[in-house]
Amino acid sequence: MSDVEVEVPSTFKKRNLKNRGGRKRKTSSSEGKVYVELKQRTTLSVQQQRENATATYELDTEHDRDAQAIFEKAQKINEELQGQADDKVYRGMNNYAQYYKSGIQRPATPARGLCKHYFCEKCALENYKKTTRCFICNAQTSGVFNPAKELEAKLTRKQSDDEDNDDDDDDDD
């Protein structure tokens, strides 16, 4: 390893001693010099370090353990256990019955504001108590929310198509 010689400026020390009224010490020739020794962090060369590199990103979760896979497994288990009595078997934190359903799954009457944004009727009325504006685009609705008949028809059509597809799949078996 190499030794590097660094000289410390002595003018700062002298000035401070004069300001404090202190006496000047006798200095030896080696007092103003500091020796620094540099050491390598690793014994591997750059070429050897590159040999250990991998092409995979190890911080990603595995596909069978990521949030989407856990959610899909929980949905499958909940569908199997729907309507059955509790059998007192622990199936993990994610596999309990989901009581809260968000979005269109929730049985609600859709309403449409003047700005053509869709809300469930209950949410629209709750927001109307706070403000008369649309809570998506902030347009003035003046409390006018019309029933969204076209959206309701579309949802019932989609639901009936899904049921028909499920029946067709059962017939093929």
Q: How many CB atoms lie within 10 A of CB 118?
A: 14
Q: What is the pLDDT of residue 158?
A: 85
Please report, for the domain that includes residue 160, its CATH number: 3.30.40.10
**Are 114 and 86 found together in one domain?**
no
Give residue-wise pLDDT tens across range 110-134.
Answer: 888 888 888 888 888 888 888 888 8
Q: Tell which residue, 120, 121, 148, 124, has the closest CA to residue 135.
A: 124
Average pLDDT across the chain, whole number: 72
User: Containing domain of residue 115, as a range?
Assistant: 106-173
The burial class, CB within 10 Å (0-12 / 13-18 / 19+), for 79 is exposed
Domain annotation covers residue 52: no
Question: How much is the pTM?
Answer: 0.35
| 37-41, 106-110, 127-131, 167-171: segment of lowest average pLDDT | 167-171
Give residue-wise pLDDT tens across range 42-84.
Answer: 666 666 666 666 666 667 777 788 888 888 888 888 888 888 8
**Are 16 and 79 found together in one domain?**
no
Classified as helix, coil or strand, 22 is coil
Domain tally for the chain? Answer: 3
Q: Strand 145-147 and strand 118-120: pairing?
A: unpaired
